[in-house]
Amino acid sequence: MKVVFLGPPGAGKGTQAVRIAEKFNVPHIATGDILRAAVKEGTELGKLAKSYMDRGELVPDDVIIGIIRERLSQDDVRSSGFILDGFPRTLPQAEALDELLSSINMELDKVIYLNVDDEEIVKRLLSRGRADDNEDVIRNRLEVYRKQTAPLIDYYKGKGLLAEINGVGDIDEITQKIVEAIGVNG
Ligand code: AMP
């Protein structure tokens, strides 16, 4: 299974991606989690990433693409595929992913676009309490999402890969809709 989760911050990508990854026993690759772990460990990557994350800006494409290139080369991904959560977030990242996948003879099965309106997003993020979840940073992350990530909706629509799912409602029902969108053969 090779699936990408797309959607604004707070859409529930992480929650749903973990559920799908567990259900189908596929590696869950979340760039935000990888970066937060690096920040916690105080690595060079962590130091660099933190300055962007604190402001709600995106970490530079080449850095993120390097992380994904390395992760996708690992055995578990080669045998089971992946659930990508929070990547790609820009057109150059999406193009780099296409190239990476074609170089290892893989292609995406589906892009799950979790759609949630702005008011609900701000409400959810304010109640989450993560370090980068204060109101100014949230607004900036939404702005960054609109400008840099939302164009991926059309990019994947054009490739016939997009499945749009309403991200508001009962968590189990949303999971079920995602499972149906991915299809039984995964
Ligand atoms: P997330 O946990 O997905 O909300 O990501 C938290 C923060 O990590 C984002 O606000 C960005 O600063 C950074 N980040 C995560 N994924 C990416 C990505 N694909 N490209 C650039 N920055 C990213």
CA dihedral 101→103→105→110, nearest 10 degrees, is 10
Q: Which residue stretches of 54-185 are H helix?
A: 61-72, 75-80, 91-103, 118-128, 135-144, 151-158, 171-182
pTM: 0.95
- The three-class DSSP label of residue 109 is coil
What is the distance in A from the centroid of ligand 1 to the CA of 86?
A: 6
How high is the pLDDT of residue 115?
96
Q: Is residue 146 flagged as an active site residue?
A: no
The verdict on the CB of residue 59 being under 6 Å from ligand 1 is yes
Residue 130 lies in a domain: yes
Structure tokens at 139: 């607004």
How high is the pLDDT of residue 26?
98
Residue 184 lies in a domain: no
How far is residue 21's CA from residue 7's CA, in Å, rounded to a whole number? 17
- Testing ligand 1's pocket by substitution, the residue of 55, 58, 142 carrying the most ligand atoms inside 8 A of its CB is 58
Convert the pLDDT of each residue in 104-137 to its tens digit: 999 999 999 999 998 898 888 888 878 788 888 8
The verdict on the CB of residue 31 being under 6 Å from ligand 1 is yes
Q: How many domains does the chain have?
A: 1
Residue 57 in contact with residue 137, Cβ under 8 Å?
Answer: no
- The CATH number linked to 69 is 3.40.50.300
Beta bridge partners of 141: none
Q: Residue 141 sits in which domain range? A: 2-177
